[in-house]
Amino acid sequence: MASRPSWQGHLKLSLVTCPVALYTATSSGGDVHFNLINPKTNNRIKMITTDPDTGPIERSDLVKGYEVSKGEYILLTDEEIKSVRLESTKTIDIERFVPGDDIDRLYWDNPYYLAPDGKMAQEAFGVIRTALERSGQIALARVVISTRERILALEPRGKGILAYTIRTDAEVRKPDAIFAGISDAEPDADMISIAQRIIEQREGPFDPSLFVDRYEEALKALIEEKQKGHKPARVAEPEDTNVIDLMSALRASLGGKSKPAAKSPKAKAKAKPAEKAAAKPRAKKSA
């Protein structure tokens, strides 16, 4: 099934514009979704919109309201909300270019794919995408999505453009209050050395196929067992990870109790000779 765009409008670089469409680059993830069921009847529960004074009311009769004081609302219809239009409502206007490393990872939000919308847009889109690629920088623009104007970070990805929404400064919490209680004392040098060697044992390429949602897999197994009429076995509690002797725990970890993650067959097949040589075990450093 063809992907449906989340937004359609124009991409603009100075006086050059072309029709484009934004598509979500990720799925919500997860195959296990629960419904609320009445165990006495096995019926799925329906949520009914209710006015505390008059009782149930149809959703189609409702409007949005902004609370200006306790219990006092300014009512807005969908048409009134749609009447608020900025240039960024239908245009992604590139404002500036910045090095990618200048954007703190805290600010990166949701990814989208940006593609030309129709054959007539191909040429202008290709010019903007290629110029962006050759600049080696990130383009910053604005766009209105879901009643909010968001910053977009644009970078080439394949034949198209990867667009990330960027959080505003007001959305990012400062770490000072959370990190304030962390000690300034320097950790033991020998312990750091052992920890570094444990890290070296676990080095490897990033392969997202190696990471699956094990909790969801366990939920699927639970559901399958119940579907067969079996009583699910009680899952053992995880071991207590409270470390009393940190040095002993570090040495035991270095001794091979925690094995490095194996490469996937796909990653092995793609590995080049130079990469294989680089992946050889490093000479051990003295503790």
Q: Where are the domains of the chain?
A: 7-28+84-170, 187-204+248-260
Please tell me whether residue 205 adopts helix, strand or coil conformation. coil
Can you give the pLDDT at residue 13? 92
User: Assign residue 262 a region: left if phi > 0, alpha if psi is -120 to 50, beta otherwise?
Assistant: beta
Percent of the chain past pLDDT 70, that is, above it, reads 85
Looking at residues 226-244, what average pLDDT do you find? Answer: 74
| pLDDT of the residue at 241 | 64
Per residue in 250-287, pLDDT (tens digit) is 888 888 644 444 444 444 454 444 444 444 444 444 43
Nearest to 194 by CA among 246, 248, 249, 250: 250
- CATH number listed for the domain at residues 7-28+84-170: 2.40.290.10
Please tell me what DSSP assigns to residue 254: I
Residue 40 has a pLDDT of 92
Mean pLDDT of the chain: 84
Higher pLDDT, 224 or 133: 133
How is residue 125 written in tokens? 């889109």
CA within 13 Å, CB half, 287 = 11
The answer, yes or no, to whether residue 101 has pLDDT greater than 80, is yes
Residue 268 corresponds to which amino acid?
Answer: K
Report how far residue 107's alpha carbon sits from residue 168's, in angstroms, rounded to the nearest whole number: 7
When pLDDT is averaged across residues 173-194 and rounded to a whole number, the result is: 91
* pLDDT top residue among 205 and 28: 205
143 CB-contact burial (10 Å; exposed 0-12 / middle 13-18 / buried 19+): buried
pLDDT at position 275? 42
**Range 79-94 average pLDDT:** 83
Nearest alpha-carbon partner for 86 in 13, 163, 154, 143 = 143
Residues 62-78, mean pLDDT to the nearest whole number: 90
Q: pLDDT tens, 196-212?
A: 999 998 899 988 888 88
When pLDDT is cut at 50, 70 and 90, the band that residue 243 belongs to is: low
In sequence order, which ranges of the chain are alpha helices (DSSP H)?
78-82, 122-135, 176-179, 189-201, 214-227, 246-252, 265-270, 273-278
Kindly provide the b/e burial profile for residues 4-15, where b requires at least 16 CB atoms within 10 angstroms of the residue's own CB: ebebebbbbbee
* Average pLDDT, integer, range 128-150: 92
**Half-sphere exposure for 66 (CA within 13 Å, toward CB):** 7
Point out the least confidently predicted range of 29-33, 213-217, 235-239.
235-239
Which pairing describes strands 7-13 and 91-98: parallel, antiparallel, or unpaired? parallel
String of b and e for 119-141 (b: at least 16 CB within 10 Å)? Answer: eebeebbeebbeebeeeebbbbb
The pLDDT tens digits for 142-177 are 998 877 889 999 999 999 999 999 999 999 999 998
